[in-house]
Amino acid sequence: MSAMRNGQRLHSFGLLRARFRPKGQIAELRADVRQRKRLREYAASHIQHMQKALTEKTLQLHHVVTDITGGTGQHIIPAILAGERDPEALACLRHYSCHSSVETIAKALTGSYRSSICLCSGSHLRFTTPTTRRHSPAKPQLKPC
């Protein structure tokens, strides 16, 4: 009780600022927005780790593909993790709308494939797949007052 009295006393002297706590749906909306932002930040760091793992394998996929979490990346990276090592076969997995040619992608996929790096990439891939993104909180819908 003394802490509450102390707070009231400090507030009466103008030493504490008033706090604003939103009610109901607004508080939920703000919490959902913060959670979605945090998930995007986590996914971004996992994508950076995957790019680093690809670079350590001397694979330059992220230089010829705009987004390694897009259609082409989501076909090629799981194939690498499944054990495919042929650059030509991997390049043929590119998405039809990819701007890079099969030859360019095949050159970028020529490198060393070490299993320890593949395991690391696999753990990061789980956090960047579309199914993981689907499990993020849905956009909240506010009802009119």
CA distance 15 to 18: 10
pLDDT by residue for the chain (145 residues), tens only, comes to: 677 788 788 878 887 777 777 888 888 999 999 999 998 888 888 888 888 888 888 888 888 888 888 888 888 888 888 888 898 999 999 888 888 899 999 998 887 776 655 545 566 666 565 544 444 444 444 444 3
Domain range annotation of the chain: 39-134
User: Given 3-state DSSP classes, what are the helix, strand and coil percentages for the chain, each rounded to the nearest 5?
Assistant: 60, 0, 40
Q: Are 50 and 124 in contact (CB under 8 A)?
A: yes
